[in-house]
Structure 1
């Protein structure tokens, strides 16, 4: 299908390499399920050789998402592998259970990478590509090959390497702008040249994988698609190493909104975009900036009087897409303390959440508590309640009570009561520079997990003095190291994200900090693996 663009999502692999974005196996499985509902064609589920846990996570996704129980459409499940037999073996071990498995192997082709990183000649690179792509094809019928740093590679050498990969059995050729160096016209010309000069290219799908170091990832991806590529490698919210990857939502909605220009289509259910954006943000602890295209809080917000006047007369004056088309809601849901479980259940169902009775009971209890403090409960409040109640990993240490004293008189003091994994209660009081600092010091005294607080972000979900507040934090462990460090050859402490929501911002701050600490404790081996309470969402 010449006009169909395959969406290759690498949120669980390249996206997870963002500092602090590491997810548990259960969290990765839930994101994979959401990606399947979204309609992505390929899920790059991880880097199986990075660690036994990553291999098992990819294998579990291959089993459960790559073979849907309802017999529906199964996405391709892909595992990344360096151009070595060990990596390829582990990738095949992980993806083999899927109905449609894929091995994705790569080797650098730019002069700077070959000379300083690989310490290989051009001839050695060509021979390694021939050998490893052939080996991958002997295991799996679907093989993708990427010449790393293609954006800075000699085009003539690229044609040679890609031609060898095709001869060896590659079915998809991915062209990465690994360091986000190229400009759109350069990248489009590179793709056009590859399609024109690579022998056997007509038997392959050409893919593009762009990074955002110069803020051009989406522009470069669209230029590559316009030049003939038919697979786009993307991540939800554009997360990824350094400045991130091409954002899934930007590419999909650009093709959707400007279809008469591109004449290209995807299989994405765009109404699922906002929901999966929120899911990935909560799991990784990486907030979406308010002015982020498509999924930012301000993407469909208008404050200027001229804009408001125009919108009232015709929505198309200042909105090129409707918020409903990406699953965003501008509607205020009038739910309050007199609303019952049935009304709550119906409204959640309309938002796409199908909860079991036990899960509904958990959310309803929190809903009633919030309604006692807030006159009107909006859709955004409900989304935050769902995220806080059902998307958090199992709590090792849980918040049982919190009391603070602060102001211009005296010293800010917090008394915290935590329940440990054995169910025992611990109480500690501490003094800090403010109520949040005091609460965190009291929590540290009980949990005793050394870390450095790297990021603390607070924002209101809705307007008004009684708004539900969200807090995301990122902490850096002092002794633990990421399972991807070996892959990236970087020895640096691992970071963990946490999320909390409450009308009391100090309580939300404590919840977020505890969520991050619980991840740190699991990663350092002090307790067993974190478990995840799964939220079941209705496919639109």
Structure 2
């Protein structure tokens, strides 16, 4: 078996070809149940995607809600480099609303889609194939008269009949589509099929060279990244992906995995992207924080254990030569090899530098708040691990724009009930206190919150885990609330599990109020 060595990161082969990165974290990624982001969080993610070199950012689905329209429009106005795309169905209302939202962008794009598989056409659209063809021509033509950059997608493309799919692609290109996306909408394809699909369509469709072909793969069978790379081999030059592989059901192709596969294996895939790979870990942490979707420890590229070695054999090999067990360097994706040990004697400068090493850059106010919480944490823990800092800062980022904030909490618990909790909240700058009892300390805390901020949301999930090892480990609590079919999940972190529980419930409640459109929380009066 031949040895595999990582290709030099700074070199590009002479026959390399550019692959355009189309990020849909803010659209397809946000459609993950419970992963909705606030307006401010969307702007924060969009700014980072723009900075790291994403070519096209799909900012949302403007016709679905006023909030989505406003977010797409705001992102279109503020980005300095990337194209901004909005999604639209093959309907005049969708197209016009999308055009209005993306028009302020430096390079606006309308992303049209319509189903082309027999299953979708019959049961979803209830249209005949000829009607679908007419809708493609009409919708692309309408969009092309409003915006010059049009992408057309064949929803459920991998389960479409090849002859009809080719006719649809031909119609879209003829009407003015500049990008053709053939998505594996339900994650059904396998790599050799997906590559052959692109080769066949590009060969059979007249004027196919006038459009850029795109891949969009879902991960239902765990093949999203493999299919994405196969599609590139088949001639696609745009990749639709998300940070951390977020997306509906099992998610989408993960941007960090696609980018690093192309970077590390240039010997077999002579392609390159515009992504600054050293920002991948930072992007992963941000998206995880604002969406409250944790990254699995063994996740490729950005997982906590991606560059961790516990086996004695592995450690011995790493000490002699890092290449024995690492095919890429931690630094190449924004992870530092060295660990700066943090404790109660650490100063503000060391804390700030450590956060930079972990991929965080906070404003002065946010930094002061995070530093105060760090000092409190360091006083209660013997060792502050990187994971402790990440959990602490993620908590600060996720709650930066909250209208409801925890000020103080005192809990009385023991063998004799009922347990009680005295809680003080800051609601829009006004501090209010209430004491409640419950069947256990957590129940008492949640009852106090409900009394101060009345609501009918149902607690669907309450989950606690330790961020690090030891009896003084910081607790990370996840809370999911559901109301009228809407579901949100949020996290809270603190060495005191009860405080972490209160933080998580309040964070989830803040998200729920944003999602249901309330401008201010209802509060206890009198």
Alignment TM-score > 0.5, same fold:
yes
Equivalent in 442, 447, 450 of residue 444 of structure 1: 450
2:482 paired with 1:476: yes
- 3-state DSSP of counterpart to 2:316: helix
CA displacement at 1:422 relative to structure 2: 5.7
Instruction: Give unpaired runs (5+ residues) of structure 2.
Output: 1-14, 522-526
SS class of match (1:131)? helix
- 1:118-129 matches, within 5 Å, as 118-129=125-136
Q: CA deviation at 1:305?
A: 2.4
Distance 1:8 1:526 in 2: 32
State whether residues 335 and 357 of structure 2, in contact with CA within 8 Å, keep that contact through their aligned partners in structure 1. no
Q: Is the 8 A contact 1:331 1:379 kept in 2?
A: no
**Counterpart residue number, 2:510:** 518
Do residues 33 (structure 1) and 47 (structure 2) align?
yes
Q: Distance in 2 between matches of 1:35 and 1:323?
A: 20
Counterpart of 1:489 in structure 2 is none
- Residue 38 of structure 1 and its aligned partner are, at CA, apart by 1.7
Distance 1:239 1:416, change over 3 A: farther
Query: In the TM superposition, what whole-angstrom CA distance separates every residue of 1:427-459 from its partner, at most 9, and x where no partner exists?
Result: 223223x54344323323332222223333434
Listed one character per residue, the Cα deviations across residues 29-80 of structure 1 (whole Å, up to 9, x for unaligned) are 1000011122111100000000111111000000011xx2xxxxx1110000
Q: Deviations over 1:105-160 (max 9, x none)?
A: 01110001111111111111111101110111111111000011001000111111
Find the residue that maps to 2:201 and give its secondary structure.
helix
Q: Deviations over 1:239-258 (max 9, x none)?
A: 11111111111111111111
Task: Report the CA distance between 1:394 and its aligned residue.
Answer: 2.7
**C-alpha spacing 1:355/1:27, structure 2 compared with 1 (3 Å):** closer
Residues 187-207 of structure 1 deviation map (CA, whole Å, 9 limit, x = unaligned): 111111111111111111100
State the secondary structure of the residue aligned to 2:132.
helix
Question: In 2, Cα distance between the equivalents of 1:397 and 1:77?
Answer: 32
Whole-Å separation in 1 of the counterparts to 2:462 and 2:205 = 49
Report the 3-state secondary structure (helix = DSSP H, G, I; strand = E; otherwise coil) of the residue aligned with 1:331. coil
Other-structure match for 2:28: 14
Task: Note the 1:8-407 alignment, pairs <5 A.
Answer: 8-65=22-79, 68=80, 74-406=81-413
2:305 partner SS: coil
Instruction: Give the match's secondary structure for 2:18.
Output: coil
The verdict on how the C-alpha distance between 1:128 and 1:525 changes in structure 2, with shifts beyond 3 A counting, is closer
CA distance in structure 1 between the partners assigned to 2:137 and 2:16 by the alignment = 28
Task: Tell me, yes or no, if the aligned pair for 1:285 and 1:474 is still in contact at 8 Å.
Answer: no
Report the secondary structure of 2:411's partner residue: strand
Question: In the aligned structure 2, how far is the partner of 1:244 from the partner of 1:352?
Answer: 24
Q: In the aligned structure 2, how far is the partner of 1:382 from the partner of 1:236?
A: 21
Checking the alignment, whether the CA contact within 8 Å between 1:402 and 1:414 is kept in structure 2 is: no
2-structure distance, mates of 1:509, 1:34: 30
Once superposed, what is the RMSD of the aligned Cα atoms? 2.1
User: Normalization by structure 1: what TM-score?
Assistant: 0.89
Q: Distance in 1 between matches of 2:206 and 2:443?
A: 63
User: Which residue is equivalent to 1:507?
Assistant: 499
Alignment partner of 1:298: what SS? coil
The answer to whether the Cα contact below 8 Å between 1:333 and 1:378 also exists between their aligned partners in 2 is no
Matched, 1:456 2:424: no
TM-score by length of 2: 0.91
Cα distance in 1, alignment partners of residues 312 and 447 from structure 2: 46
Report the count of equivalent residues. 506
SS state at 2:152 partner: strand
Distance 2:366 2:401 in 1: 14
TM-aligned CA distance change 1:412 to 1:209, over 3 Å: farther
Alpha-carbon deviation of 1:526?
A: 4.0
Moved more, 455-464 or 396-405: 455-464
* Partner Cα distance (1:459, 1:272) in 2: 28
Instruction: Give the structure 2 partner of residue 417 of structure 1.
Output: 423
Matched position secondary structure for 1:262: coil
Q: Contact 1:21–1:286 at 8 Å: present in 2 too? A: yes
Moved over 6 A (4+): none
Q: Secondary structure at the match of 1:261?
A: coil
More deviation in 92-101 or 319-328? 319-328
Residues in 2 aligned to 1:152 and 1:109: alpha-carbon distance in whole angstroms? 8
CA contact (8 A) 1:48 1:80 kept: yes
* Cα drift, residue 368 of structure 1: 1.8
Cα deviation per residue 1:364-389 (whole Å; 9 max; x = unaligned)? 22222122122443444333332222
- Structure 1 residue 19, shift from structure 2 partner: 0.8
What does the per-residue CA deviation read over 1:448-477, in whole Å, with 9 as the maximum and x for residues that have no partner? 222223333434444444333333322211
Cα drift, residue 307 of structure 1: 2.2
1:527 aligns with 2:496: no
1:296, CA displacement in angstroms?
1.7
Q: Is the 8 A contact 1:285 1:473 kept in 2?
A: no
Q: Structure 2 vs 1, CA of residues 437 and 253 (structure 1 numbering), >3 Å: closer, same or farther? A: farther
Aligned residue number for residue 482 of structure 1? none
